[in-house]
Structure 1
Amino acid sequence: MERKHPLPPFKLNALLIPLLLGTACFNQARAQTYKKTIVEGVEIFYREAGDPQKPTILLLHGFPSSSHMYRNLIALLAPNYHLIAPDYPGFGRSAKPSPDAFVYTFDHLALVMEKFIDQLGLKSLNFYLQDYGGPIGFRIIKNRPELVSSIIIQNANAYLEGLGPDVQKIGALAEANDKKGLEAATSYMMSLEGIREQYVFGTVHSERISPDSYYMDHFIFEQPGVKDIQKVIFKDYSNNFPKYTEWQEYLRKHQPEVLITWGKNDKIFPGSGALAYKKDLPNAEIHLFEGGHFLLEEYPHEVADLIHRFLQKKHGK
């Protein structure tokens, strides 16, 4: 029988090197780094990935999560984009000074994030807004419109039409000055059961929702002082509603390029909140999913594809 000899070593290497280099470059592009910086004396944790020479996406997270909610999206988009995802003070891996030492309002959180942007030298940003990322991001956007390249919105409300039953219930308790009821409602939202519900309610493929997500949030919330901080921020949330008309005015005036991906079964911000943007942004691209509040846990690849197509069209690539 004729014996087949292997390729000589130099030929084998010549065949493998491009493949190996390509794989290494691909993996390096996807790799996330974990960094910290100091803003107003507070340590801010953030995730970064991708090439800074490529379009930058700033990912602003929601309650009760942190930049951890973007881990899958970052990995999917990093080969083509530069991604930055910070944790706000009082959230995730960022510092958590007591409310006596730090002003926990949405105005102040937005100011800290604006300073974070300037400290990192970020320009021409594609803002990704989810939940709390909406009121924080829209404050920055309205104040610094020159930073905006585009806006990607996911279950982040700017219209009264998009307030779901959970928000309306809490609003009714506040209006009735039912302090005991409000305390019970906020305590539930910060419990493991309440956090898990925000992840799984309205999902079609609940088996796709990683328990790591809500257990991670719960772990952070169980750290000393965190729930006290969150209650202070929660009390300030009503100050976002009067800002809605200002953000709507910005959208009407500037007509930014906007992509909206939304879990329409969200009982905090249902699909009507996404459709309301059409009133001021007739050219907005809107995609409603059969999903819940944390859409990226269920549909990361689908959302990443929509973002890639949206930004490819915008940047002409």
Structure 2
Amino acid sequence: MLFLHGNPTWSYLWRSLLSTLSADFRCIAPDLPGLGLSPRPAGPQRGVGCLERQLICLDGFFHHLTGSVGLPARRWTLVVHDWGGLIGIAWAQRHPGVVARLVVLNSIAFPWPAGHRLPVHLRWIRDSASIAALAQVGNVFPRAAVRLGVVRGLGEAERMAYLLPFADRQNRRTVVEFIRSIPRGDDDPVWRLFKAPDTESQIARLPMFIGWGMRDRLFTPVVLEEWVRRFPQARVHRYRDAAHLVTEDAAGALDRHVRAFLLGA
């Protein structure tokens, strides 16, 4: 199983799921380049360049796993959240047959559906270089994510764990680059990285679990319904009292539901 987080999180996001699944499955949860405890890439990137860099690094990592480590090259389960969805599904389309199952948590892999509107603070950072610079200095987005991305509230130690990789200003650059790469309309160059999956695509034929925090301010229920429309075969669980960090708010129930899906229950 390969777990791909998003922005501004890191592999710490998966700790509850990993605890539940690791007895039955080989679980691998890397930090995306520039986030978490991974090395910071040289030189700024945004838009297509930012995403292409992620895909190139994921290719290298997977070739290391299948070559040097000796793991199988097919029959992987891909677990994605936030940017991990766009990156992971674009990568899976480039490597048909590698991914056998998908677990999707509050993410996107197609142009924003009609009726969706990006939260204003993300639009400010995305569209203004000066506001983006201020956001990096103040570590604004990670600090907001650990407060506004949950319903139940995180403990102080949990908040500090999420914020730890971004304590240094220079380590926050990729956080802002991801925000500035958020696609605008249907014709945004980012969408050209892959064909948005639909009911006819090879992705749509995969067994799929969708677990959704219904109180997410970014990936709202409108986005979930577009997933359901495109993938009517998916097993869907809606967590009413969970927000963007659904692995936090729905930990326990989500873990059981994902495990049952993987074991065919």
Pairwise CA distance, 1:61? 0.7
**Contact preservation (8 Å) 2:7, 2:82:** yes
**Contact preservation (8 Å) 1:162, 1:276:** no
Local SS of the residue matching 2:29? strand
Pairwise CA distance, 1:155? 0.4
Tell me the residue number matched to 1:286.
236
Local SS of the residue matching 1:232? helix
How many residue pairs get matched?
250
How far, CA to CA, are the matches of 1:168 and 1:312 in structure 2?
Answer: 41
Which structure has the larger Rg? 1
Structure number having the greater strand percentage = 1
In 2 relative to 1, CA 100–133 (structure 1 residues): closer, same or farther, beyond 3 Å? closer
Unaligned ranges ≥5, structure 1: 1-56
How far, CA to CA, are the matches of 2:88 and 2:212 in structure 1?
Answer: 17
Aligned residues: CA RMSD: 3.0
**Contact preservation (8 Å) 1:135, 1:240:** no
Structure 2 matches for 1:158-237, cutoff 5 A?
Answer: 158-159=109-110, 160-161=112-113, 165-167=117-119, 170-171=122-123, 178-183=128-133, 190=140, 193-200=143-150, 203=151, 205-206=152-153, 209-237=154-182
TM-score of the pair, normalised by structure 1: 0.69
Tell me the residue number matched to 1:40.
none
Local SS of the residue matching 2:9? coil
How far, CA to CA, are the matches of 2:114 and 2:248 in structure 1?
Answer: 21
How far, CA to CA, are the matches of 1:297 and 1:240 in structure 2?
Answer: 33
How far, CA to CA, are the matches of 2:106 and 2:136 in structure 1?
Answer: 20
- Alignment equivalent of 2:5, drawn from 48, 58, 61: 61
Local SS of the residue matching 1:252? coil
How far, CA to CA, are the matches of 1:78 and 1:240 in structure 2?
Answer: 38
Structure number having the greater helix percentage = 1
Equivalent residue letter for 1:98: A
Structure 2 matches for 1:18-97, cutoff 5 A?
Answer: 57-97=1-41
Unaligned ranges ≥5, structure 2: none
Pairwise CA distance, 1:245? 7.3
TM-score of the pair, normalised by structure 2: 0.81
Pairwise CA distance, 1:63? 1.1
**Contact preservation (8 Å) 2:213, 2:239:** yes
Tell me the residue number matched to 1:303.
254
Local SS of the residue matching 2:254? helix
In 2 relative to 1, CA 240–172 (structure 1 residues): closer, same or farther, beyond 3 Å? farther
Pairwise CA distance, 1:178? 4.5
Greater RCO, CA 8 A, separation 6+: 2
Moved more, 300-309 or 157-166: 157-166
In 2 relative to 1, CA 163–157 (structure 1 residues): closer, same or farther, beyond 3 Å? farther
Local SS of the residue matching 2:28? strand
